[in-house]
Amino acid sequence: MTNTVPDNPVTQLSLQVNGREVALEVEPRITLLEVLRERLDLTGAKPACGQGECGACTVLLDGRPVNACHLLAVQVDGRPVVTIEGLRERPEFQALKEALVALDGGQCGYCTPGFVVAAYAVLRDHPAADEVALRWALVGHICRCNAYENIIAGIREAGRRIG
Amino acid sequence: MTDSLDIVGQSVTRLELEDKVLGVTRYTADLKRPGMLYAKILRSPHPHARIVAIDTSAAEKAPGVHAVLTHHDVSSFAIEGDLLVLDARLRFVGDEVAAVAAESPAAAADALELIRVEYEPLPPVFDCGAALAPGAPELHPGGNLVDGRRLVVERGDTEGAFPTAFRVFEGVFHTAAHGPVGMETRSALAEWDDDRLTVHKTSRSLHAHDRKILSNALGIPLEHVRVICTSMGGGFGNKDEGRLGPLAAFLARKAGRPVRLEYSRMEEFIAGRNRQAMVSRLKIGVAEDGAPVAIEMRSEMNAGAHVASGRNVTRRIGQGALYLYACPNARFEGASVYTNHPAGGSFRGLGAPAGHFALEVLMDQVAAGMGLDPLEYRLRFHVGPEGQPGRRTTPPGEAIPDEPVEGGVPFSSHGLRECLLSGAERIGWRERRQPNGSATGPSRRGLGVAMGIYKGGVGREAQAEIHVDRRGRVEVRVGVVDVGQGSSTILAQIAAEALQLPLDFITMVMADTAHTPPGHITAGSSTTFSSGHAVKQAADTVRNRLRERAAATLGVSDVSLSGGVFTAQGREGAALTFHQLCAALPEPVIEQVTLTPGSTDRVINSFSAHFAEVEVEMDTGRIRILRYVAAQDAGRIVNPRLAEGQVTGAVLQFLGIALREELLMDPTSGVTLNPSFLEHKNTAIVDFPPVEVLFASQPEPLAPFGAKGLGEPPVVPVYAAVANAVANATGVWLHEAPFTPKRVLQAIAQQGADRP
């Protein structure tokens, strides 16, 4: 989708967010993250680096974790997007939530939803992933509190409960 | 002190963590208001310049733009003494020139391009020596030496003592500037209701700083300003500083609509407040048995364009040299210097990690020079429970400073030796450590030790309020901000323990000037000690009042309280639940406490002893951390899981800082070269092994339930523990941090370690 008309730089989009159809008009330069946060008030995905380097804005696109700050909204027209707000309703999400809370898998919490969305996808695809595989699956996520050990412990515990 | 504790000492769940995991926690930039505008900032392309003329007419007419702000539109109030809300004088590349509020972030960014500025470039100065030289461009009135003088603190007579020393060791140590890198960038949302202002803002000091700054800058009474920061995405000693709040408030007033301002990551790196570059020249004189007889440290900090909290940063470089080893003569001289670097500020540990890097590496050189094992050296000569030799200088009856210089004052609690012994045993020091430089081959392993001393009981004025209403709701109100470290959980545990109520009876209300008593800044690892004291005292009073009321209701002289039930003493079966008692209250029970904790005859400090095991690749200069043991003396541990997380996080954060984090600036243009996560790499999830955390066992007698500060102490020895392990592995001393492969290779080349 492109729109090169300079005096009318707006594109019609149809997004599928958390199972809901959303029709929007956006400028082509607007990111998926801005649409989610500023237009749809889905603020679980966080802005932190703006260049796909920290994972705080992770959402699922076509079921796979992506950096929402690094995608234009026009790139996801018609494709299913799931945010932390959509995930948290799912029954299979509960083990992950409980294990992370019990094992203190987060401190300030700002990077946490991004970690959680990515961890959900990893456990869904590889419930028996070992610690090394989990760490490399999450290597694109930065936690400046460095709560990494407890995050990994929580995800491993959730994997055991799901597995 | 209470003998048996029910809630303090338990690893209860972090209070807000479920909301954080679910993504429902709202941080400042998650907030919206009807009609809210988005702000963007125009930044200086010059390291030093004067705005000759600024034309905002085109920007003002741009689509969606509601307000443009320049230095002509703001008051002349100086935010931190040396910082105007906007200034015609620009002092670093990235300095704030103007701001725009528009209906979308994109519209605001577009409008910035339409602002026409005529700059008069001025000569820049980037390093401390050049900035202090005669004829250097003056960045602030009064010159480039902050406050016009060097800070000097001393005990005894170093000048007289050095000539008596058996040997004198000297070294120069550098640490680089780096970014603080809270994951949440600085943000503020300002909204006006008539002449009343509400600002949601990233902050660690709503009451003590932001509210006063906003009141003064905007020219409105303090009572008309409300500041809120109920969730913060990482503080690490940062985020209360700067122009953010006033800019959002001025824009909102001019536009007549709420305005949200949110820094990009690049802005955060450049125009946030960074850890400053520091250099320390250290000299240690020892007696024939190795005992330090004189220690002198002279340090310079490159403050950048504004000093912010840099004065305290510089002072803290020297505290280790002044106080970690028993020594009759010690002197610290520190200078903070204005330059055209981006402004520095405060970051976890302030100057202490840099100061301990110098001290603890040179002490290893002393031990090596005197033929002593570095652990044995420390066990013999670290400052003991009796404190420093010499005489007290604080007048009788006055509080002992938390960064003392004087001798003759004992520590209130002192777990340093226990930390050294337990850490050494854990890492296997006595069995496994070989002499420095004895390893051979392409990859060489070594062990290093370093200690740390830090404020453990900062006596800040603290307030707490407890409200118990007829529904049985127990609100603990404190003005401090939980910056992500978990203070709400710790203060709730202290309140529940003192009230003798279950933890889930407690509701914490924090960090909102409209609903909390004044709170101190979240700094100096002071919250558990200072606010904890106030919470405990308020809770003790409330508990006693409720028990008296319960006893009167039950017609007995005394009751016990457990699990939310008052049980009559001496009358079988008579009991009253907490909620039954509350329902019969004639009015809510309210207790407010204001106090300044501390001691008039003891030093309250926290201690660290860290042990690192590293492997150094001699061909590449790469350092791998194989093991890391962190032994901490923080008194009684209120919540072991949170405390271990705090220590682990601190060490992992600083291993990244020690090995690679560095903000690079082009030395001619003043442009910051790596303001992004791509090029300023901090610790990732695959970088380091788990940290082995040990705690000393002695509670602090003067602290609430015995708990001393823990937020910063575990960062203090990290540089030195790693550098000393590298020296043990290679025989090469590192004097410049971060220890990048390039610097390690340079040190190997210069100091001539045997190549494989």
Mean pLDDT of B524-546: 95
The residue range of the domain holding A155 is 90-162
Q: Is the peptide bond before B714 cis (omega within 30 degrees of 0)?
A: no
Residues A128 and A75 in one domain: no
Picking from A24, A93, A108 by the largest number of B CB atoms within 10 A of its own CB, the best residue to mutate is A108
A34 CA to chain B: closest CA distance, Å? 9
Q: Specify the length of chain B in residues.
A: 756
pLDDT band at A95 (very low <50, low <70, confident <90, very high): very high
The enclosing domain of A34 has a CATH number of: 3.10.20.30
B184 CA to chain A: closest CA distance, Å? 6
Which member of A50, A85, A139 has the closest CB to residue B685?
A139
- Write down the pLDDT at residue B546: 97
Residues A136 and A149 in one domain: yes
Q: pLDDT tens digit string along B608-632?
A: 999 999 999 999 999 999 999 999 9
| Residues on chain B touching A104 (C-beta within 8 angstroms) | 11, 13-14, 17, 641-642, 645
Residue A35 DSSP symbol: I
- Do B649 and A51 make contact, defined as CB atoms within 8 angstroms? no
Cβ atoms of B554 and B568 closer than 8 Å = yes
Residues A56 and A106 in one domain: no
Give me the DSSP letters along B376-434: HHHHHHB--TT--SS---SPTTSPPPSS---SS--BS---HHHHHHHHHHHHTHHHH--
Cβ atoms of B451 and B363 closer than 8 Å = no
pLDDT band at B2 (very low <50, low <70, confident <90, very high): very low
- Write down the pLDDT at residue B756: 47
pLDDT of B201 > 80? The answer is yes
Q: A33 lies in a domain?
A: yes
A28 CA to chain B: closest CA distance, Å? 11
Mean pLDDT of B207-228: 96
Q: A29 lies in a domain?
A: yes
| Residues on chain A touching B23 (C-beta within 8 angstroms) | 43-45, 83-85, 88, 112-113, 116
Mean pLDDT of A61-71: 97
Nearest CA in chain A to B34: A38
- Write down the pLDDT at residue B753: 64
Which SS3 state, helix, strand or coil, does residue B37 take? strand
Domains along the sequence of chain B with CATH: 17-24+458-595 (3.30.365.10), 31-122+184-233+239-271 (3.90.1170.50), 278-457+601-751 (3.30.365.10)
Amino acid at the residue B143: G
Orientation angle between helical segments B244-255 and B211-218, nearest 10 degrees? 40
Number of independent structural domains in chain A: 2
Q: pLDDT tens digit string along B67-77?
A: 999 999 999 99
- Write down the pLDDT at residue B571: 80
- Do A48 and B24 make contact, defined as CB atoms within 8 angstroms? no
Q: A3 lies in a domain?
A: no
B90 backbone dihedrals φ, ψ, rounded to 5°: -115, 135
Which member of A84, A97, A146 has the closest CB to residue B648?
A146
- Do B13 and A100 make contact, defined as CB atoms within 8 angstroms? no
Which member of A37, A50, A108 has the closest CB to residue B233?
A108
Picking from A10, A24, A101, A107 by the largest number of B CB atoms within 10 A of its own CB, the best residue to mutate is A107
pLDDT of B681 > 50? The answer is yes
- Do B686 and A83 make contact, defined as CB atoms within 8 angstroms? no
The mean pLDDT of chain A is 93
Q: A30 lies in a domain?
A: yes
pLDDT of B459 > 80? The answer is no
- Do A46 and B233 make contact, defined as CB atoms within 8 angstroms? yes
Residues A24 and A72 in one domain: yes
Parallel, antiparallel, or unpaired: how do β-strands B116-121 and B49-55 relate? antiparallel
Nearest CA in chain A to B236: A145
- Do A97 and B22 make contact, defined as CB atoms within 8 angstroms? yes
Candidates A51, A76, A41, A44; CA nearest to A62 is A76
Q: What percent of chain B has pLDDT over 90?
A: 94
Interatomic CA distance for residues B388 and B427, integer angstroms: 29
- Write down the pLDDT at residue B545: 97
Amino acid at the residue B170: E
- Write down the pLDDT at residue A66: 98
Q: Return the exposure string of B477-515: e unless at least 16 CB atoms fall within 10 Å of the residue's CB, then b.
A: bbbbbbbbbbbbbbbbbbbbbbbbbebebbebbbbbbee
pLDDT of A1 > 80? The answer is no
- Write down the pLDDT at residue B457: 86
Mean pLDDT of B288-297: 98
Q: A120 lies in a domain?
A: yes
- Do B233 and A85 make contact, defined as CB atoms within 8 angstroms? no
Mean pLDDT of B339-365: 97
A81 CA to chain B: closest CA distance, Å? 16
A134 CA to chain B: closest CA distance, Å? 10
Q: pLDDT tens digit string along B467-502?
A: 999 999 999 999 999 999 999 999 999 999 999 999
Candidates A112, A123, A135; CA nearest to A162 is A123
Residues A46 and A103 in one domain: no
Residue with the two structure tokens 């976890």:
B348
- Do B17 and A47 make contact, defined as CB atoms within 8 angstroms? no
Which has more confidence, B704 or A91?
B704
Which domain-ending residue is among A85, A118, A151? Answer: A85
- Do B20 and A143 make contact, defined as CB atoms within 8 angstroms? no
Q: pLDDT tens digit string along B85-138?
A: 999 999 999 999 999 999 999 999 999 999 999 999 999 999 999 999 999 999
Q: A67 lies in a domain?
A: yes
pLDDT of A103 > 80? The answer is yes
Residues A95 and A158 in one domain: yes
Residues A104 and A151 in one domain: yes
pLDDT band at A3 (very low <50, low <70, confident <90, very high): very low
Q: What percent of chain A has pLDDT over 70?
A: 95
Nearest CA in chain A to B653: A146
pLDDT of B512 > 50? The answer is yes
- Write down the pLDDT at residue B179: 97
Q: A81 lies in a domain?
A: yes
The enclosing domain of A143 has a CATH number of: 1.10.150.120
| Residues on chain B touching A112 (C-beta within 8 angstroms) | 20-21, 23
Interatomic CA distance for residues B529 and B90, integer angstroms: 40
pLDDT of A2 > 50? The answer is no
- Write down the pLDDT at residue B514: 97
Residues A60 and A111 in one domain: no
- Do A135 and B650 make contact, defined as CB atoms within 8 angstroms? no
Nearest CA in chain B to A59: B23
- Write down the pLDDT at residue B3: 59
| Least confident segment among B116-120, B205-209, B253-257, B424-428 | B205-209
Take residue B81 and report the two structure tokens written for it.
């003494």
| Residues on chain A touching B29 (C-beta within 8 angstroms) | 47
Candidates A68, A69, A65; CA nearest to B265 is A69
SS3 content of chain A, % helix, strand, coil (to 5): 40, 15, 40
Residues A81 and A110 in one domain: no
Which domain-ending residue is among A85, A115, A142? Answer: A85
- Write down the pLDDT at residue B80: 84
| Residues on chain B touching A88 (C-beta within 8 angstroms) | 22-23
Phi-psi region of B676 (alpha: psi -120 to 50; beta: other; left: phi over 0): beta
Parallel, antiparallel, or unpaired: how do β-strands B559-562 and B65-69 relate? unpaired
Picking from B652, B685, B715 by the largest number of A CB atoms within 10 A of its own CB, the best residue to mutate is B685
Phi-psi region of B384 (alpha: psi -120 to 50; beta: other; left: phi over 0): beta
Residues A80 and A146 in one domain: no
Which domain-ending residue is among A85, A109, A124? Answer: A85
Residues A48 and A105 in one domain: no
Nearest CA in chain A to B689: A149
pLDDT of B241 > 80? The answer is no
Q: A52 lies in a domain?
A: yes
Mean pLDDT of A132-152: 98
pLDDT of B217 > 70? The answer is yes
Residues A65 and A123 in one domain: no
Amino acid at the residue B72: H
Take residue B179 and report the two structure tokens written for it.
């970014």
pLDDT of A8 > 60? The answer is no
